[in-house]
A and B are shown apart, each in its own frame.
Chain A
Amino acid sequence: MLASIVSHGLALGAVYALIGITYNVMFSASRVFSFTAGMLGMLGGVLGALFISKLGLPAIAGFVLVLVCGAVLGIVTEIVTVRPVLKSIEQHLYVLSTLAFALMVQQVTAIEWGTEAQPFPRLIPIGPGWLDQQFWLPMLACAVTIVGLEFLYRRSLVGRAFLAIAEDSYAARALGLPEQRLRLASYALAGMIGTLAGFSGAEMQLAYFGNQAVLNFYGFVPVALGGMGSNRGAVIGGLALGLFQQAANFLVGGIFAAVAVFVVFILVLLLRPEGLAGAASARRV
């Protein structure tokens, strides 16, 4: 039983962590909180099932195609919902524009793909049991992403340009960095990470349009608690959330587990609005 809780918990936690990283990448590039993170996760599973199960593509090809779709969606998000409102003074407009776009995509999925959760194809025949592929695939994806991002940020100039824009976009612009192109690239990257998260976790979560709302929330919790922009916080928070959720599931049952997560989340936020590792807010007057 413990093994099951740990494997389920870490696996789901890895998915949540990746969604949290998706939020972070979009936020770092634009200072915008986007509702599309959960949407990308959901589509990772749905599109994966579509390409591999329904259209019969080989698993690798399907996987690559899913990532490409993620990148494209990220770019569309930036152009349609973020760029137009970045210039406006109204601060919460972008919350609504990304919400609207995410909802539109969710509805199209519900209508075209259906509202029933569909099974996700088995990619690697290892398992069942606690070493089942459905458990370690998300963790592998999470580890690869973290290593990849480290490499990107520390070793490549593009990655360091991302960090520069995240720290001070005005100075970056003045220095002559191609801010717009870099932001587009960030959103494409976020798109790929989001769909990767959904794809790797889809065997557990199934290809289901309802995953969007679930991932939106559970992917946000680690970011909110760990501090927006901190990938380390997202990973720790995500894994902890996954374990907590599975333990609560086991102890008190599914519904109360959900309630427990929400209550803890809201209480922590009320006590520390900037998260457990947050930064002070800017000068207002």
Chain B
Amino acid sequence: MMDATASSPAARPRAAGWFARLEGALPWLALAVIGVGLPLLDDSYIGVIAQRACIYWILCAGLNLVVGFAGQIAIGWVALLTLGAYTTAVLTAGKATAEWHPYLALMASAVAGAVFGVVVGLPALRLRTFYFAMTTLGFATIVTQVALAWNSVTGGGVGTPGPVFPWPFDPGWGFYYFCLGLAALATWMTANIASSRFGRALVAIRDAEVAAEASGIAKPALLITVFLFSGALAGVAGGLFSSLQSYITPDAFTFDLSVLFFIAILIGGRGSIMGPLLGTIILTALPEFAAPLVAWSTFLYAALLLVIVLAIPGGIADLLDYKNRRPLQQHREIVPRPELLAHVLDRAGGPGGVIELKDIALHFGGVRAIDGIDLEIRAGEVHGLIGPNGSGKTTTLNVISGYYAPGTGHARLNGADLPFNAPSARAGYRIARTFQTPRIVGGASVLENVMIGGTIDGRGSFTESMLALPRHRRDEARLREAGMLALATVGLDQLGAVRADRLQHSELRFMEIARALMLRPAFLLLDEPAAGLSAEEIKRLGALIVAISRAGTGVLLVEHHADLIFEICDRVTVLNLGKVLAAGTPDEIRSHREVVNAYLGG
């Protein structure tokens, strides 16, 4: 059963579990009852509005994944509605081919929608937000223009009749139940995606792209899949729309309509299913019930959008999320439990490995960021990397984690070359990392953030998640359990259900480590994890890092805090101006004259 909002009641004790699920299911049950019982009102006007709302929601359910979850500003999505509508209408009218049966034509619309969903969405992989928005607008105009011009098939400006579905889904309440059923199916499928590793991965791409890459999430494949699915839904919606309208012309598919879809999702709230659903229903029904509003409806939608963006970016879903308004305990302490690491890391056995960097050099413009660095990270060791600002510490880490390709030199894992410019491949090598500034999904819960770290360990495919098949359910249970265990290890298990943006900075740092642990990493790269932590927290962090390395992981610790470095590192490398100044044990480094000078200048 799905929750009404994006956050999950994962941290609740088992006893209250069924009650919480009932609580979460209540809005859905209410909607289902209203939906099924609507014909009892015997009002055909309301019937038409309800059908339209269902059809719009089928499109919006898919668009929600694109806009609300993946964060792609696809303003011109109405292009797919147009395409779906005309595909169904033309095929059933027999203008271009022999007459098709309406159900087959509807499926053809789904296929056409899927294909063109990818075409419309593809630029998102290359372009910035605004540019992509403009290309979708361009597509919307192209489709309308083609519909206008292709007289012989589409009827041009005059239009073409829409299909009539046979009994029991004939025009009237029969067709209504058809639309309602498909809308319910669309809701169920998108809600399944939303609460799967794919939904979490989408949100990660939206809000924390570099962290998503580090967790192994491949943006192109996932986005293309989502565009396929959402496009198919839009195509189906189009086919149903042409039947509802009974006669379609190009000017039925206005920019206003596209805006309506888009705004419904944003008003509803990104990352939610219930929110955009309510948003779609409200926006479809509103102008019908307040006659003077009809002419001003688009103005009102735009004004609503402005208010939402400026005042309530989280939309309706945020307003309904009363769970996350409960105050948190004031003086929280982070108490890691390193003894749990044996379960978390669950090493598959085998001797530890080693990452070797040899003679790595990298230029930015004319500047040599790093100039011939040798470095070794061994399993079971904590290797510290220190140096003044601009010495190349973070750049080196970024090379190891695959974000930068060096000009010369190589990096090897157990003798095999590590590929560069492929940060999302690192997760497959069990190389995990944290970031200088925590990269998190603020709107998701702490547990969901951590579960993102385990995305690549899922076995179920997108389709299996969409249909909530057993493998998906096993994946989810396993990820959830692993996530709670990781949180308990770093000492944050009490905060699992809390929205991540409510956490203190130090808690976010530990959360990032929990996320990294989900990969059961053979190597863990930490980028200044102690920055902003109190003295006590730094001590606990140090103990945790040592425990992680003793469990067999090779740790690279980039830090400014000299005392932490000298306390827990087995080996230390000092960088200065992109070169290795000294390397050895902490004691050797401490007394190394040149190191002291580099820090103190002179």
| Given contacts A107-B296, A256-B149, A224 and B134 within 8 Å (CB-CB) | yes
A92-127 near B? 1/0 per residue, CB < 8 Å:
110111011101100110010000000000000000
B122-137 near A? 1/0 per residue, CB < 8 Å:
1100111111011101
Contact B131 A95 (CB under 8 A): no
Which one of B130, B149, B209, B306 lies within 8 Å of A81 (CB-CB)?
A: B306
Contact A99 B299 (CB under 8 A): no
A96: B residues at CB distance < 8 A: 73, 266, 305, 309
Determine whether B141 belongs to the interface, using a CB cutoff of 8 Å to chain A: yes
Cβ of B17 to closest chain A Cβ, rounded Å: 34
Cβ of A263 to closest chain B Cβ, rounded Å: 8
| Given contacts A103-B259, A255-B149, A220 and B126 within 8 Å (CB-CB) | no
| Given contacts A92-B71, A95-B133, A96-B309, A262 and B139 within 8 Å (CB-CB) | yes
Interface residues of A in 199-246 (CB under 8 A from B): 213, 216-217, 220, 224
Cβ of A34 to closest chain B Cβ, rounded Å: 9
Interface residues of B in 487-527 (CB under 8 A from A): none
Nearest chain-A residue to B150 (Cβ)?
A255
Determine whether A284 belongs to the interface, using a CB cutoff of 8 Å to chain B: yes
Determine whether B303 belongs to the interface, using a CB cutoff of 8 Å to chain A: yes
Contact A101 B306 (CB under 8 A): yes
Docked pose: A186 CA to B133 CA in angstroms: 24
Nearest chain-B residue to A81 (Cβ)?
B306
Contact B135 A285 (CB under 8 A): no
Docked pose: A101 CA to B310 CA in angstroms: 12
Docked pose: A85 CA to B311 CA in angstroms: 10
Contact B306 A97 (CB under 8 A): yes
Determine whether B245 belongs to the interface, using a CB cutoff of 8 Å to chain A: no
Determine whether A258 belongs to the interface, using a CB cutoff of 8 Å to chain B: yes
A95: B residues at CB distance < 8 A: 73, 129-130, 133
B104-130 near A? 1/0 per residue, CB < 8 Å:
000000000000000000110011111
Cβ of A235 to closest chain B Cβ, rounded Å: 20
Determine whether B69 belongs to the interface, using a CB cutoff of 8 Å to chain A: no
A: number of interface residues (CB 8 Å): 39
Determine whether B75 belongs to the interface, using a CB cutoff of 8 Å to chain A: yes
A213: B residues at CB distance < 8 A: 137, 255
Cβ of A240 to closest chain B Cβ, rounded Å: 17
B60-81 near A? 1/0 per residue, CB < 8 Å:
0000000000010101000000
Cβ of A76 to closest chain B Cβ, rounded Å: 12
B: number of interface residues (CB 8 Å): 44
Which one of B126, B138, B145, B148 lies within 8 Å of A217 (CB-CB)?
A: B138
Nearest chain-B residue to A214 (Cβ)?
B141
Cβ of B83 to closest chain A Cβ, rounded Å: 15
Most buried by A among B135, B209, B255, B306: B306
| Given contacts A108-B299, A258-B145, A284 and B71 within 8 Å (CB-CB) | no
| Given contacts A269-B126, A284-B403, A259 and B302 within 8 Å (CB-CB) | no
Determine whether B542 belongs to the interface, using a CB cutoff of 8 Å to chain A: no
A159: B residues at CB distance < 8 A: none
Determine whether B287 belongs to the interface, using a CB cutoff of 8 Å to chain A: no
A103: B residues at CB distance < 8 A: 259, 298-299, 301-302, 305
Interface residues of A in 18-38 (CB under 8 A from B): 33
Docked pose: A224 CA to B306 CA in angstroms: 26
Determine whether A148 belongs to the interface, using a CB cutoff of 8 Å to chain B: no
Docked pose: A97 CA to B209 CA in angstroms: 23
Contact B128 A273 (CB under 8 A): yes
Contact B299 A111 (CB under 8 A): yes
B133: A residues at CB distance < 8 A: 95
Contact A259 B71 (CB under 8 A): no
B435: A residues at CB distance < 8 A: 285
Docked pose: A277 CA to B540 CA in angstroms: 51
Cβ of B478 to closest chain A Cβ, rounded Å: 30
Docked pose: A84 CA to B308 CA in angstroms: 12
Determine whether B313 belongs to the interface, using a CB cutoff of 8 Å to chain A: yes
Contact A269 B123 (CB under 8 A): yes
B514-558 near A? 1/0 per residue, CB < 8 Å:
000000000000000000000000000000000000000000000
A273: B residues at CB distance < 8 A: 126-128, 131
Docked pose: A216 CA to B145 CA in angstroms: 18
Cβ of B318 to closest chain A Cβ, rounded Å: 13
Binding site for A on B (CB under 8 A): 71, 73, 75, 122-123, 126-131, 133-135, 137-139, 141-142, 145-146, 148-149, 209-210, 255, 259, 266, 295-296, 298-299, 301-303, 305-306, 309-310, 313, 394, 398, 403, 435
Binding site for B on A (CB under 8 A): 33, 80-81, 84-85, 88, 90-93, 95-97, 99-101, 103-104, 107-108, 111, 213, 216-217, 220, 224, 255-256, 258-259, 262-263, 265-266, 269-270, 273, 284-285
22 contacts between A and B (CB under 8 A): A33-B129, A90-B313, A92-B73, A92-B129, A93-B313, A95-B73, A111-B299, A213-B137, A213-B255, A217-B134, A217-B138, A255-B148, A256-B149, A258-B141, A262-B142, A266-B123, A269-B126, A269-B131, A269-B135, A273-B128, A284-B403, A285-B394
| Pairs A-B, 9 closest by C-beta atoms | A103-B302, A33-B130, A107-B299, A100-B306, A100-B305, A262-B138, A255-B149, A104-B302, A92-B129
